[in-house]
Structure 1
Amino acid sequence: MSESLIQVKNLKKYFKTPKGLLHAVDGIDFDIKKGETLGVVGESGCGKSTTGRLLLRLIEATDGEVLFEGKNVLKYNNEQMRQLRKEMQIIFQDPFSSLNPRMSVSEIIGEPLIIHKAVSSKEELAKKVAQLMDTVGLTERLVNAYPHELDGGRRQRIGIGRALALNPKFIVCDEPVSALDVSIQAQVLNLMQDLQKDLGLTYMFITHDLSVVKHISNDIAVMYLGKLVEKAPAKELFKNPMHPYTKALLSAIPVPSIKNKKERILLKGEITSPINPAPGCRFAKRCQYAKEKCFTDDPALVKFGNDHFVSCHFTKELNNL
């Protein structure tokens, strides 16, 4: 049993708006084990990307703890954070907007090495950049190319190369393949899995594509309006989803078969506003099983079986446990 590299405790992020506080992330808890991948899924606006940025302190948390190797990084000063940046990196969703159009491939990948003074000469820098380009599958002839000259897959490889430059332990992958063609997606996902195996990387993989998350994740966390509604090992979640929202999500995956048609669970009702939300389950207004208790009491994230956590008042009844 590997130990946890990341531990998140009661993490919250509220944004001030003219109408009140928007609860983007509202008291979530999870661990990510060393060398493993936590997939985070949920519809747009559920707080996936905000959570990833909170872990790296790209935005500041309202409350809670983020423990990296047992130390709370939310308490770090500027110099400690500067050192931590070497250990924690991010791969962004859009490979074009996340790259400086005025910099060449070698300049983009080499920039972190220069900023953190990780190389002592131009020759060492060129050698290191060449190694990184080779690692992520970029040919040597692209060394002086610019992002606009390349396709989406190669641009994302530049982003991955830049993230790897300082030998990090943890990488937040913020929908890294959603902007790519399907065939290119597979190449990038296989590359990321190979890198994880070779370098012992730990990933938090944010996506809305359930087939992708099943392929790459050890554990999967399902988010809904800033809350964690279910978390389980990947195989367990797909085989035995327990939360009504997770069941609805999984029912939307297309099945390549005419005979075995599965029934689609259609969610009706309005989405709860994340601005000053009332007590109760955030999913209650769209849940066909909701009862009075769901609209008044917040459900806790409770453990069922082996590492399967569900946030629902009626988990036992709905799953015949």
Structure 2
Amino acid sequence: MVDNILEVRNLKKHFKSKNGTLHAVDDVSFSIKRGQTLGLVGESGCGKSTIGRLILGLHQATSGEILFNGQDICKMNKAQIHNLRKELQIIFQDPFASLNPRMTIGEIIGEPLLIYKKVKRRAELDSEVRRLMDVVGLSKRFINSYPHELDGGRRQRVGIARALSLNPQFIVCDEPVSSLDVSIQAQVLNLLKDLQAEYGLTYLFITHDLSVVKYFSDKIAVMYLGQLVEGAESDELFKKTIHPYTQALLSAIPVPNIHQKMKRVKLIGEITSPINPEPGCRFAKRCLYAQEKCVGQDLELKDFGNSHFCSCTRADELLNVTL
């Protein structure tokens, strides 16, 4: 069995627009080991969700490879991708918009079972739906309720139950707790952790919240405008942050101590357009450490030991910078 359940190699996704070509994902590579969680972090519009949809076959890649258990998703036809969806599922960001308001909770959870013909009789369907509701901590009394009758936390549990219905190996978690209250966030994250341990699931956890991803992910990859700028084991990244953008993200995490002064890294300057971007570091216009060699040619991820990768011309200097 392949150790890496997923390998993304030189992945690109470009969209045509009236003003040129939008580089949503540009030459991104990473891998995820079986049973682990990769946290994909970055601000809105950096390409995180696009990568998730490329992995699921919802977008066609411009170029590159997405190897799931050694098979390239980018070369699959519609029938092959349809069959693969039993192994690849997604939990969406908005638990209300992602649920059909005309269907009951039981119908929503049971729909994948009917599409893939996993059950033959109505009694089997009802039994499996009730089992899934129990797995995600959702009371069976909601089986005939509609999404609008549930709160956000329960609606997200419905989305998780639906994702689990086909017994997948890999789940894309697309900011699954960002629209929930903090207390509910903790409950959902703990549920996802428990499910991972019980079923051996592998997660791609997409978020913009580093304080969440720190405690949930084994590895973290940081994106900026379609490119990976830093990646490392979770503990390693927080212990030794290199890239100026990652340092700025970390400095924005609230400190639960009114007597401790926050050392904020404030970003100023113009955000580079993702449409027809020029070669070079796309963070340079906002970077406090930018210099001439940051522009003109694209930067490669360099290994700084302990599987810690970073693309920055001044990374050696920044290794000694503490927040």
**Residue number in structure 1 paired with 2:163:** 163
Considering only aligned residues, what root-mean-square deviation do their CA atoms show, in Å?
1.1
Residue 320 of structure 1 deviates from its aligned partner by: 4.7
The unaligned stretches of length 5 or more in structure 2 are none
Alignment pair present for 1:138 and 2:138: yes
Deviation at 1:30, TM superposition (A): 0.2
Amino acid of the structure 1 residue aligned with 2:288:
Q
Name the counterpart of 2:124: 124
Paired residues in the alignment total: 320
SS in 1 for 2:27: strand
Amino acid at match of 1:177: V
Stretches of 4+ moved more than 6 A in 1?
none
What amino acid is aligned across from residue 167 of structure 2 in structure 1? N
Partner of 1:90: 90
Cross-structure match for 2:199: 199
Cα deviation code 1:115-156 (max 9, x no counterpart): 000111111111110110000011111110000000000000
| Partner of residue 284, structure 1 | 284
| In 1: Cα distance, 2:143 partner to 2:122 partner | 14
Change (3 A) 1:292 1:20: same
Name the CA distance, whole Å, in 2 between partners of 1:201 and 1:120: 26
Distance, in Å, in 1 between the alignment partners of 2:315 and 2:252 is 21
Tell me the distance in 1 between the aligned counterparts of 2:50 and 2:77: 21
Matched, 1:234 2:234: yes
Partner Cα separation in structure 2 for residue 123 and residue 242 of structure 1:
56
TM-score, normalised relative to structure 2: 0.97
Range 223-232 or range 2-11, more displaced:
2-11
1:246 counterpart letter in structure 2:
T
Q: Where does 1:261-300 land on structure 2 (aligned, <5 Å)? A: 261-300=261-300
For 1:304 and 1:196, the matched residues in 2 are separated by 30
How far does residue 318 in structure 1 lie from its aligned partner after superposition? 2.3
For residues 84-139 of structure 1, the C-alpha deviation after alignment (integer angstroms, 9 at most, x for no partner) is: 00000000000000000000000000000000001111111111101100000111
**Counterparts of 2:278 and 2:99, CA distance in 1:** 41
Question: In the TM superposition, what whole-angstrom CA distance separates every residue of 1:163-195 from its partner, at most 9, and x where no partner exists?
Answer: 000000000000000111111111111000000
Output the CA distance in 1 between the equivalents of 2:216 and 2:149: 29
Please, which runs of 5 or more residues in structure 1 have no aligned partner?
none
Distance 1:248 1:78 in 2: 41
Corresponding residue for residue 249 of structure 2:
249
The one-character-per-residue Cα deviations of 1:281-309 (angstroms, maximum 9, x if unpaired) are 00011111111110112110111111101
2-side partners of 1:258 and 1:165: how far apart?
A: 45
Match of residue 52 from structure 1: 52
Q: Find the residue that maps to 1:31 and give its secondary structure.
A: strand
User: What is the aligned-residue identity percentage?
Assistant: 66
Whole-angstrom CA distance in 2 between matches of 1:126 and 1:49: 33
In structure 1, what residue type is equivalent to 2:290? Answer: A
TM-score, scaled relative to structure 1: 0.98
> Are positions 1:172 and 2:172 aligned together?
yes
Taking the aligned partners of 1:268 and 1:295, their CA distance within structure 2 comes to 18
